[in-house]
A and B are shown apart, each in its own frame.
Chain A
Amino acid sequence: MAWFKRSPWVLHYNATSCNGCDIEVIACLTPLYDLERFGIINTGNPKHSDILLVTGSVNEKSKHVLKTLYEQMPNPRVVVAVGICACTGCVFQDCYNVLGGADKVVPVDVYVPGCAARPESIIDGVLKACGILEEKYAQQKNTQQQPIKA
């Protein structure tokens, strides 16, 4: 059964964002959008979460934190880049300290563009991530059953 689709738990990390996308992520939890109706919980703990929401253009300071958070999440895991900064770095990409996008540090599965990203598109991105989570789990199971021959 597709349990990952029914209960994806989210971890939100602000990688030097301007707080615009973060407000929109929090707005998804409010009564108007109510992410919890899909079983989505904002956990605040990498060891409990399945989906990592990254906002902001990642810089030299936040890249270590982002990498650590990603490594602490148990498999299968999915990364969603929320906002144009997390996707490409946007107008900050030429700054000397900015890496320009979350995909420079961790493998990103879903890109949600927008400045700031609308709650509707964030919900859409998270639900798309649930599908990828299922695929990753199926893949993981296949590789466990048939070990890859070197």
Chain B
Amino acid sequence: MKTLFELFQSLGLAERMLAYVLIAPFIGGVLAGIDRKLTARLQGRFGPPILQPFFDVFKLFQKERIVVNKFQNFNIILFFVFTVFSGALFFCGADILLMIFGLATAGTFFVLAGYSVSSPYSHLGAEREIIQMVSYEPMVILVAVGMYMVTGSFKVADIAMYQKPLILALPGVFAGFLYILTIKFRKSPFDLSISHHAHQEIVRGLTTEFSGPALALIEISHWYENVLLLGIVYLFFAFNPWLGIVLTIAAYLFEIFIDNNYSRFKWQLTFLSSWLFTAVAGVSNIIVLHLIK
């Protein structure tokens, strides 16, 4: 493990970015497969193979391209590019604020893609995606602010090198981040815009009009995004790499558990509860941190 970390640190900026671009989809796809298998086991089913998400994506690339509006795939490609860009920034140790804004830009292009087609179901999904973005964005900013207040740097590389446990200074921020992580992973109480489960979806939400390769690209972007978000979870426990990896996996399993225990919330409850949780856990943590210093 230690040699692995030393190897990663010995890499240059471009090599680290390349490593993320090449390795992240594999990790993200396997995580998605584990998610589906575990969900099936929790429901008493046998479940698909672990590599099922890869099969789905390969199949989608073989399907016919149907384009309703010529800008729809343009927006999806930009969504993909900005997600990969912000992930690459994170894993090469760049500024966490720039990474967060890159991710927000990716989300914006995803919403624009939903609006670019004429289907009312897609528009409804896009509107709900905006509500979700408004719900989680304050907490994501607070994560960056909290990490800066403790470590004195916005650089991911410096935060990861911080020797004291970040989680002890930022328990509230971490709890708040775990709460909005459910929205970012598109898990069940908050899967308003796109659900993986057809039975609780209005046709298919935002992705209604996307088929074949475009849908595959959306799926791959989600894998990149998931790896990036788990990377942020890891930062809270970066003082001990082993503990960090174990707890990051635990956070992911926790999200799967939550996914299986809740049905979908209304958008009002999603919005109110996430802002309330952000205020109570996140903001109060920041205030206490400010008073202690």
Residues of A within 8 A of B (CB): 1, 3-4, 6-7, 9, 30-31, 34, 36-39, 41-45, 47-48, 50, 74-76, 137
Contacts and interface: CB of A to CB of B under 8 A. Distances in A.
- Which range contains the number of B residues in contact with the other chain? 20 to 34
Contacts of A42: 198-199
A36 B47 contact: yes
B58 A3 contact: yes
A137 B62 contact: yes
Nearest to B51: A6
A50 B56 CA distance: 11
Interface string B56-99: 10110011111000000000000000000000000000000000
A44 B203 CA distance: 6
A45 B125 CA distance: 14
B204 A34 contact: no
A76 B59 CA distance: 11
A77 to B, nearest CB: 9
A3 B196 CA distance: 20
B56 A37 contact: no
B211 interface: yes
Interface in B36-58: 36, 40, 43-49, 52, 55-56, 58
B208 interface: yes
A38 B59 CA distance: 14
A3 B55 contact: yes
Among all A-B residue pairs, the 7 with the closest Cβ atoms: A6-B55, A74-B64, A3-B59, A47-B211, A45-B204, A31-B44, A44-B198
21 contacts: A3-B58, A6-B59, A7-B55, A31-B44, A34-B47, A36-B45, A37-B46, A37-B47, A39-B52, A42-B198, A43-B198, A44-B198, A44-B203, A45-B198, A45-B208, A47-B208, A48-B207, A48-B211, A48-B215, A50-B63, A137-B62
